[in-house]
């Protein structure tokens, strides 16, 4: 875990597995760097390359995900998948998960599997919105959908004290934007938030966009620039609802950030953590040694499994007081917020 002072360091200390980077992670890095990244860098970002990369990522994230069940509901006017753990706790716990994909693509199989893993590990009902995507729906369409689902969950009875907002990559951006907008609208805020490899800076101002351009095993810079132009006009890129790293984080709930040390998005995470701390917030920044973009998605990586447990511990820490208090009262049958059962 990176110390408070290391938020200001150019090269923060990194989480390292005993024995160093696992062979599985090294293999994933090699494949991504020499196959997927090279392919996108050579051919540019277009529908064809996006489909091919999505297909490979869907395969790489295959694995057993437990017995959580999936329902499909329309919440706040947005189609959502609702993932319910097999053995939910007596106290309803909720996760709003905002998927990544550069604001323009969804990997339904990948994120459905990840949501099932989160549901089982957290003992929480996970809501996975199918928010509108660029370039057909540019900013703020996707952000509007995410906030609409969050607001609707509160209206449906979800207790914010046992809720977390999560997201990865572009979804990490949207998670921060959702928190900023919810605070500004004076909505109740969740107990905590977790973001993985967040794309929180659409101005691409950090040094890691240059220093890690070759080291990043997955993301070529030409793809990032193309993603930005699909999502938002250049004159809007510094707005806090586009680059939340540049926003005012005063009053937001505790935040956990997980990122790889060789990612081009590293400085996006470091600067977000520093800004969060400067605003008086509680933040945990974990920089994992040589891990690829959003590595917890890969169930077979030992590092991903350890990171998942760290995320569970963070969630439990910030919801424990409520769950312990409610457990003292007579046990009632579990019912997810928003349930029609």
Q: What is the DSSP string of 148-180?
A: HHHHHHHHTT--GGGEEEEEETHHHHHHHHHHH
Which SS3 state, helix, strand or coil, does residue 196 take? strand
Determine the Cα–Cα distance for residues 50 and 227; give it in Å rounded to an integer. Answer: 11
Strand partners, 94: 125, 163
Cα separation, 298 vs 319, in Å, equals 26
* Catalytic residue of the set 164, 263, 275, 303: 263
Q: Edge-to-edge, what's the strand order for the sheet holding 255-260?
A: 69-75, 78-84, 125-129, 94-98, 163-168, 192-196, 255-260, 283-288
Secondary-structure percent of the chain, ordered helix, strand, coil, rounded to 5: 45, 15, 40
Which of 81, 99, 120, 169 is catalytic? The answer is: 169
Any catalytic annotation for residue 6? no
Packing angle of the helix pair 302-327, 108-122 (nearest 10 deg): 50
| Cis peptide bond upstream of 23, omega within 30 | no
Residue 293 is a catalytic residue: yes
The stretches of the chain forming alpha helices (DSSP H) are 23-31, 38-43, 47-60, 108-122, 141-155, 170-184, 208-211, 221-231, 266-278, 302-327
Spatial distance between the Cα atoms of 115 and 92, rounded to a whole number of angstroms: 16
Would residue 97 be called left, alpha or beta, if left means φ above 0 and alpha means ψ between -120 and 50 degrees? beta
238, two tokens: 């510094």
Q: Catalytic one among 293, 303, 318, 336?
A: 293
> How far lies 336's CA from each of 131, 135, 146, 159, 208, in Å?
22, 34, 19, 10, 41
- The reply to whether 169 belongs to the active site is yes
- Cα 321 to Cα 340: distance, rounded to the nearest angstrom: 27
- Positions marked catalytic: 169, 263, 293
């Amino acid at each position: 875990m990176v110390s408070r002072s290391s938020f200001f360091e150019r090269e923060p200390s990194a989480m390292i597995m005993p024995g160093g980077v696992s062979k599985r992670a090294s293999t994933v890095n090699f494949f991504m760097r020499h196959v997927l990244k090279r392919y996108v860098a050579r051919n540019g970002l277009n529908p064809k390359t996006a489909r091919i990369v999505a297909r490979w990522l869907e395969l790489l994230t295959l694995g057993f995900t437990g017995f959580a069940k999936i329902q499909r509901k329309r919440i706040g006017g947005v189609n959502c998948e609702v993932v319910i753990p097999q053995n939910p706790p007596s106290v309803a716990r909720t996760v709003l998960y905002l998927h990544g994909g550069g604001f323009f693509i969804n990997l339904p199989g990948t994120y459905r599997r990840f949501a099932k893993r989160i549901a089982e590990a957290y003992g929480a009902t996970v809501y996975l919105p199918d928010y509108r995507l660029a370039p057909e729906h540019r900013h703020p369409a996707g952000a509007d959908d995410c906030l609409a689902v969050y607001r609707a969950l509160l209206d449906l009875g979800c207790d914010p004290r046992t809720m977390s907002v999560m997201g990865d990559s572009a979804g990490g951006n949207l998670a921060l934007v959702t928190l900023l907008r919810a605070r500004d609208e004076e909505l109740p805020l969740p107990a905590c938030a977790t973001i993985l490899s967040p794309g929180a800076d659409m101005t691409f101002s950090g040094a890691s966009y240059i220093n890690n351009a070759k080291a990043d095993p997955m993301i070529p810079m030409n793809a990032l620039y193309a993603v930005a132009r699909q999502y938002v006009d250049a004159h809007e890129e510094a707005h806090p609802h586009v680059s939340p790293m540049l926003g005012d984080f005063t009053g937001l709930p505790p935040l956990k950030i997980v990122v790889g040390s060789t990612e081009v998005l590293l400085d996006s995470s470091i600067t977000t953590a520093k800004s969060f701390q400067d605003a008086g917030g509680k933040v945990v920044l974990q920089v994992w040694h040589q891990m690829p973009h959003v590595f917890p998605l890969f169930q077979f990586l030992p590092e991903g499994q350890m990171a998942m447990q760290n995320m569970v511990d963070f969630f439990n820490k910030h919801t424990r007081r409520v769950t312990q208090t409610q457990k003292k009262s007579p046990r009632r049958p579990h019912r997810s917020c928003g349930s029609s059962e």
